[in-house]
Amino acid sequence: MSETRCGYAAIVGRPNVGKSTLLNHLIQQKISITSRKPQTTRQNVTGVKTQGNVQIIFVDTPGMHRKQTKAINRYMNRVATSATLDVDVILFVVDRTIWTTDDDNVVERLQQSKVPVIVVVNKMDCQEDKAALIPHLALLQERLKPAEIIPVSALRGHNLDCLEEQIIKRLPQGIHLFPEDQITDKSSRFLAAELIREKITRQLGAELPYQIAVEIDQFIDETTLITIAATILVERDGQKRILIGEGGSRLKSIGTAARLDMETLFDAKVMLKLWVKVKAGWSDDDRALRSLGFHE
Ligand code: GDP
Ligand code: MG
């Protein structure tokens, strides 16, 4: 492509279809946390990919879902919706033919948008019967009228070059908004907190992860060594006990896993200190959410 281009691509879809995995593989760096549990991503995470004279700014979003019972869930829906308003292209990620009412909810929101939509049919590595997709995708084509439908495997990196080509075609001409070596607009503190949250989500039982938040109390960057102190907030005493584990074993293994990922991401040695604190009701309290950095 001869002219300089730069633009935004929002990644939307219901929880757990692989949005964050897609972002990480597109920019070949782990900046958005992923797990088997829904609602791992809570805030929009920006990933910047610059190649030659093209810059794509991806925005990974929390999963959109119908249930909006708690303040944190309402917050995540607003954040995801806001990301679709002012972008050049929307990547609507779906999981093969697995369709839920949360997918219907996304379609309804996208029907109101004027931005071109690319349907990304993810997890194709798990789809044996490719023909079974055809009637499903034909229906979706009719209903949403997307610009493209592209099957991929985010995890394996299959067909992502084709997806990228279709994104680039839709970006406007213009100067790059980020320096070439910048991969995200998020601070190192934010990324550190997210990595801790990811390890908790991956290592602990189903319901706990919804009710934790991570605050970075200290972040001292001495180039080759970064010292980080963080507090994990939970809602109840019982959760604190689970998180700490027998003789502190669980917290230790969460800390080790998070530290290893931080060392790769920051390219430095990391000293990580973790504390656990009970702060009842934070996830349904708008003021507490703001103080934890959930700003719009
Ligand atoms: P998000 O909630 O949409 O951001 O989904 P995540 O990126 O956190 O992924 C949810 C789960 O799906 C994780 O366990 C991923 O490893 C898995 N996953 C994502 N993409 C693929 C894929 O292409 N193939 C397979 N088999 N699993 C995937
Ligand atoms: Mg995610």
* Dist. CA 21 → ligand 1 center (Å): 6
- Identify the residue whose C-alpha is closest to ligand 1 atom 19: 18
In this prediction, residues 216-244 reach a mean pLDDT of 93
- Identify the residue whose C-alpha is closest to ligand 1 atom 8: 34
Work out which ligand 1 atom sits closest to the CA atom of 17. 3
* Dist. CA 59 → ligand 2 center (Å): 11
Q: What is the pLDDT of residue 4?
A: 95
Does the beta carbon of 154 lie inside 6 Å of ligand 1?
A: yes
85-109: per-residue pLDDT in tens?
A: 789 999 999 999 999 999 999 999 8
Q: What is the pLDDT of residue 212?
A: 84
**What is the C-alpha to C-alpha distance for residues 206 and 167, in angstroms, rounded to an integer?**
35
Q: What is the pLDDT of residue 3?
A: 87
Work out which ligand 1 atom sits closest to the CA atom of 15. 2
Does the beta carbon of 122 lie inside 6 Å of ligand 1?
A: yes
Task: Give residues with Cβ within 8 angstroms of 265, minimum separation 6.
Answer: 29, 30, 31, 191, 195
CATH 3.40.50.300 holds for 5-169: yes
Give the per-residue SS3 of the chain.
CCCCEEEEEEEECCCCCCHHHHHHHHHCCCCCCCCCCCCCCCCCEEEEEEECCEEEEEEECCCCCCCCCCHHHHHHHHHHHHHCCCCCEEEEEEECCECCHHHHHHHHHHHCCCCCEEEEEECHHHCCCHHHHHHHHHHHHHHHCCCEEEECECCCCECHHHHHHHHHCCCCECCCCCCCCCCECCCHHHHHHHHHHHHHHHHCCCCHHHHCEEEEEEEEEECCEEEEEEEEEECCHHHHHHHHCHHHHHHHHHHHHHHHHHHHHHCCEEEEEEEEEECCCHHHCHHHHHHCCCCC
What are the sequence ranges of the domains in the chain?
Answer: 5-169, 188-291
**What is the C-alpha to C-alpha distance for residues 121 and 94, in angstroms, rounded to an integer?**
5
Q: What is the pLDDT of residue 209?
A: 64
- Looking at the predicted structure, is the pLDDT value of residue 51 above 80? yes
- Looking at the predicted structure, is the pLDDT value of residue 120 above 90? yes
Confidence category of residue 293, pLDDT binned at 50, 70, 90: low
Q: What is the pLDDT of residue 232?
A: 94
* Dist. CA 247 → ligand 2 center (Å): 32
| pTM for the structure as a whole | 0.87
Find out whether 271 and 227 touch, Cβ atoms under 8 Å: yes
Q: What is the pLDDT of residue 281?
A: 76
In this prediction, residues 153-176 reach a mean pLDDT of 97
Does the beta carbon of 153 lie inside 6 Å of ligand 1?
A: yes
Q: What number does CATH give the domain 188-291?
A: 3.30.300.20
Give percent of the chain with pLDDT exceeding 70: 94
**What is the C-alpha to C-alpha distance for residues 66 and 73, in angstroms, rounded to an integer?**
9
Chain position carrying tokens 């969460």: 254
- Give, in order, the Cα–Cα distances in Å from 131 to each of 124, 128, 135, 262: 12, 9, 8, 42
Does the beta carbon of 125 lie inside 6 Å of ligand 1?
A: yes
- Looking at the predicted structure, is the pLDDT value of residue 68 above 70? no
- Looking at the predicted structure, is the pLDDT value of residue 290 above 80? no
- Identify the residue whose C-alpha is closest to ligand 1 atom 14: 36
Highest mean pLDDT among 12-16, 41-45, 71-75, 205-209: 12-16
Count of alpha carbons within 13 angstroms of residue 259, beta-carbon side: 18
- Looking at the predicted structure, is the pLDDT value of residue 295 above 70? no
Count of alpha carbons within 13 angstroms of residue 276, beta-carbon side: 23
Find out whether 32 and 47 touch, Cβ atoms under 8 Å: yes
Q: Choose the residue to mutate in 23, 34, 35 for probing ligand 1, maximizing ligand atoms within 8 Å of C-beta.
A: 34
Q: What is the pLDDT of residue 44?
A: 83
Mean pLDDT for all residues in the chain = 89
Q: What is the pLDDT of residue 9?
A: 96
The answer to whether the Cα torsion of 238, 244, 250, 254 is positive or negative is positive
Residue 38 CA: which ligand is closest?
A: 1
Work out which ligand 1 atom sits closest to the CA atom of 14. 3
**CA distance from start to end of the chain:** 35
- Looking at the predicted structure, is the pLDDT value of residue 285 above 80? no
Work out which ligand 1 atom sits closest to the CA atom of 38. 2
Residue 32 CA: which ligand is closest?
A: 2
Low-confidence winner among 23-32, 132-141, 192-201, 276-285 (lowest mean pLDDT) = 276-285
In this prediction, residues 157-161 reach a mean pLDDT of 97
* Dist. CA 98 → ligand 1 center (Å): 13
* Dist. CA 203 → ligand 2 center (Å): 17
In this prediction, residues 199-206 reach a mean pLDDT of 83
Find out whether 40 and 201 touch, Cβ atoms under 8 Å: yes
Highest mean pLDDT among 78-82, 236-240, 272-276: 272-276
Find out whether 82 and 61 touch, Cβ atoms under 8 Å: no
Work out which ligand 1 atom sits closest to the CA atom of 36. 14
The amino acid that residue 8 corresponds to is Y
In this prediction, residues 50-78 reach a mean pLDDT of 83
The amino acid that residue 106 corresponds to is V
- Looking at the predicted structure, is the pLDDT value of residue 42 above 90? no
Does the beta carbon of 21 lie inside 6 Å of ligand 1?
A: yes
